[in-house]
Amino acid sequence: MIINHPLLGPRDAAEFVYKGDAALIHRPDGMAPDALEKFIDYGYLRDNPAGEHRELWFHEQGDRSWLVVTRNTLTHEITSVELARDVARREGRSK
């Protein structure tokens, strides 16, 4: 596969390490009263779609960016690649 890195252009997937569902960005607040329940969902309940999937890839043999890659799990077509940091900020994460 080829991942079109937003900063470095098309790179072979062999340069990357796969982590999993990009939903991992949405880590719950560990100090909230219902934290335990939220973390069990966060840690163990993932969607496993046959089709479009947003996932995290790490450019370990490259610039060490974490990327959010939108990939079709049936066809491996990649429709979007973004810096995970940009996605995280956009989706409300900060410090």
In whole angstroms, give the CA distance from residue 17 to residue 78: 16
Task: Give yes or no for a contact between 42 and 28, defined as CB atoms under 8 angstroms apart.
Answer: yes
Task: Give yes or no for a contact between 43 and 88, defined as CB atoms under 8 angstroms apart.
Answer: no
Q: Which residues pair with 81 in a beta bridge?
A: 69
The distance of closest approach from Cβ of residue 48 to other proteins in the complex, given in angstroms and rounded to an integer, is 18
| Interacting positions 17-76 with other proteins (CB under 8 A) | 17, 19, 24-25, 27-31, 35-36, 39-40, 42-43, 56, 58, 60, 64-66, 75-76
In whole angstroms, give the CA distance from residue 9 to residue 18: 18
The distance of closest approach from Cβ of residue 87 to other proteins in the complex, given in angstroms and rounded to an integer, is 8
Number of residues binding to other proteins, judged by CB under 8 A: 36
88 makes contact with other proteins (CB under 8 A): yes
Q: Which two tokens stand for residue 94?
A: 């900060």
Q: What are the residues binding other proteins (CB under 8 A)?
A: 1-2, 12-13, 17, 19, 24-25, 27-31, 35-36, 39-40, 42-43, 56, 58, 60, 64-66, 75-76, 78, 83-85, 88-89, 93-95
